[in-house]
Structure 1
């Protein structure tokens, strides 16, 4: 009988362990057996026994997984065992490329409600010049559900054209079904995006088995690498069990977590990097950005970096340089701003108001606002202006600001 102690059992793993005459295998009851592994066992007529679990945490992966399509990672006899976990940020070229601060791009409209591509171009250039490490269009902050399919394509095309290869582009491809996701990924490939981000299917809740198959089918067919996106506030939660099973697909290279749950994010790194040391984990919440980086996150997709890119980038870099005193100061100083913008009516209007305070004409919202809500956004603009003024920015709209005596975080900057 062949014994397998790996926490994730795939068809490829079984093929590498079982000889032609092996008809019995013993697997730990806590191990996750992927659907492909079940098919393999059934087709080969292999009987499965469940004995006492030995130490889990060893998985066999390829030293240099094939990057053809979304096929599961190749297996070898080399074991990756990471008792103390860490790894990631710079552990592979892919992990390095998707480390740092990725800005979730807002969409700017003109007076008629159409996308204002000229102002968006100015805004994207400003972000890149400010030092952000990547761009993230068609995410939650990018209002992808309020755009048509053609507009979503146009937004990414514009950003690719303006970017000219300066920073990686992680484009949201969360369409309504597998076919449309793959078609969007193919389009992104053609125009030069670097990877796609993908949430669980929205509106209809599906079983965990179906959720696995949804991502697996896309991983088998996507021409671009995939970052899983967990945001349970808006969609079905992407459990650690499913993400662990999906490690079988090299095309899936990491996770963005916007759950606002720091223990979950840390457990994601601990659990998945045991098997894939270069697995990318990006934090989607600025409130716990510093502790997540200290614990090993690659960085974050941080909406506030669209308003104060200089400060968010510095926070990331100070954390990486272990200048924790300055990093803590920056982390605490951004909290009033993020808390204020999250209160903005109809997300992401608070963040778009912040971009307006920095000097960009963001245009009218696509969501319908009451007169009272519009008045609130005017007050919000003034309060955001006061906070940015304290940070050292020269901004518009700051009126009647309280005296705080807080030190400036940046050299006095004119608004653009």
Structure 2
């Protein structure tokens, strides 16, 4: 078992500001890092999906971690995305980030090729045998080969350096099954969710925290939701979850991921630059309209002023009945198991 602290709380999968030439804007990245820490996030998670790791070179990915480790100065732990295109390069990344002093690395299952569970196990087993730094498995089945429950259990049982899993499926029963399978033998193993829309229910069923893209935009709200839920103040937490879903949906579904999040961070006062994925003229227009919508949502929370012309009065789009039902089902299941 690792001697380091358990991974828990809100880890921000941060975006990377770019300058006018499309290169990493180091000064703005340092300012953004300080801002996130000052607003209470528990840790930082660079080189994840929100951080567009596939759109940077190996050298750039390493430089991003160097900058953030230097700027953080140990104030919060760093979970560094270390996924490369093959296992040899991924292990090299583990070694490099270990040398920088990160708390752990996160590694997505093999992408591009869809692999069987046995191949996914073999991939992570090779890493588990050779990594000098603690590893967080990263399950994101929409982009990579899925990591099923038996595979997570085998890896947790056989490799002490594999200490956590980040699951971005949003599948609550899947998370319950993983916790049931792993915790009896590895009580210190961490379970993190990457699905902001169900952060509260997932914390209630036993998750230790999350790597949540909304925390890169409204760290105050995501941290508040975590604190209220873990303190058992569920009526208050439920209201915050409703608000977070509204913002999350607007950023996630109204533009190509993660452009909606980049637009929202701009509204918090950062110069994010133009993303590396080219956009059509229509997409640029749509993103401008989304920015106005996001500004109105952020204005409702007191984080920015309203756009020119004001904001329309709209009914709340969150299906509160559905969220209430999820929470009540989770609580009923916990009571049935004698856990609440």
- Normalised TM-score (structure 2): 0.89
Equivalent residue for 1:256? 166
Q: Does 1:235 align with 2:235?
A: no
CA 1:398–1:128: 2 relative to 1, 3 Å: farther
Question: How far off its partner does 1:183 sit?
Answer: 0.8
Q: Deviations over 1:303-346 (max 9, x none)?
A: 00011001110110111111111111100011111101012432
Q: Does 1:218 align with 2:218?
A: no
Equivalent residue for 2:34? 125
Alignment of 1:67-106 (within 5 A): 94-95=5-6, 98-106=7-15
Q: Find the aligned partners of 2:199 and 2:22 in 1 and give their Cα distance.
A: 34
Q: Does 1:315 align with 2:234?
A: no
Equivalent residue for 2:100? 191
Q: Deviations over 1:32-69 (max 9, x none)?
A: xxxxxxxxxxxxxxxxxxxxxxxxxxxxxxxxx4x5xx
Equivalent residue for 1:6? none
1:136–1:170 Cα contact (<8 Å) kept: yes
Question: How far off its partner does 1:265 sit?
Answer: 1.3
Q: Find the aligned partners of 1:352 and 1:183 in 2 and give their Cα distance.
A: 30
Further displaced range: 163-172 or 391-400: 391-400
Q: Find the aligned partners of 1:180 and 1:263 in 2 and give their Cα distance.
A: 34
Equivalent residue for 2:270? 360
Report the number of matched residues.
Answer: 315
**Aligned with 2:294 (options 384, 387, 404):** 384
1:281–1:299 Cα contact (<8 Å) kept: yes
Equivalent residue for 2:203? 293
The structure with more radius of gyration = 1
Equivalent residue for 1:134? 43
Further displaced range: 396-405 or 360-369: 396-405
Question: How far off its partner does 1:178 sit?
Answer: 1.3
SS of the residue 2:35 aligns to: helix
Equivalent residue for 2:337? none
Q: Find the aligned partners of 1:114 and 1:183 in 2 and give their Cα distance.
A: 24
Equivalent residue for 1:204? 113
Equivalent residue for 2:72? 163
Q: Find the aligned partners of 1:178 and 1:145 in 2 and give their Cα distance.
A: 15
Q: Deviations over 1:136-185 (max 9, x none)?
A: 00000000000000000000101101100000100011101111111111
Q: Deviations over 1:215-247 (max 9, x none)?
A: 011111101000000000000110111111112
Q: Unaligned 5+ residue runs, structure 2?
A: 317-340
CA 1:281–1:400: 2 relative to 1, 3 Å: same
Equivalent residue for 1:150? 59
Q: Deviations over 1:349-373 (max 9, x none)?
A: 0111110111111101100100110
1:355–1:362 Cα contact (<8 Å) kept: yes
Further displaced range: 107-116 or 158-167: 107-116
Q: Find the aligned partners of 2:155 and 2:298 in 1 and give their Cα distance.
A: 42
Q: Deviations over 1:186-211 (max 9, x none)?
A: 11111121100011111122332222
Q: Find the aligned partners of 1:399 and 1:105 in 2 and give their Cα distance.
A: 31
Question: How far off its partner does 1:399 sit?
Answer: 4.3
Q: Find the aligned partners of 2:31 and 2:182 in 1 and give their Cα distance.
A: 39
- Provide the alpha-carbon RMSD of the alignment: 1.6
2:209–2:226 Cα contact (<8 Å) kept: yes
Question: How far off its partner does 1:398 sit?
Answer: 6.1
CA 1:399–1:295: 2 relative to 1, 3 Å: farther
SS of the residue 2:5 aligns to: helix
Question: How far off its partner does 1:380 sit?
Answer: 0.6
Question: How far off its partner does 1:395 sit?
Answer: 4.0
CA 1:285–1:399: 2 relative to 1, 3 Å: farther
Question: How far off its partner does 1:276 sit?
Answer: 1.2
Q: Find the aligned partners of 1:396 and 1:171 in 2 and give their Cα distance.
A: 36
- Normalised TM-score (structure 1): 0.73
1:390–1:404 Cα contact (<8 Å) kept: no
Equivalent residue for 1:346? 256
Equivalent residue for 1:70? none
Question: How far off its partner does 1:107 sit?
Answer: 1.0
Question: How far off its partner does 1:272 sit?
Answer: 1.2
Q: Find the aligned partners of 1:145 and 1:184 in 2 and give their Cα distance.
A: 14
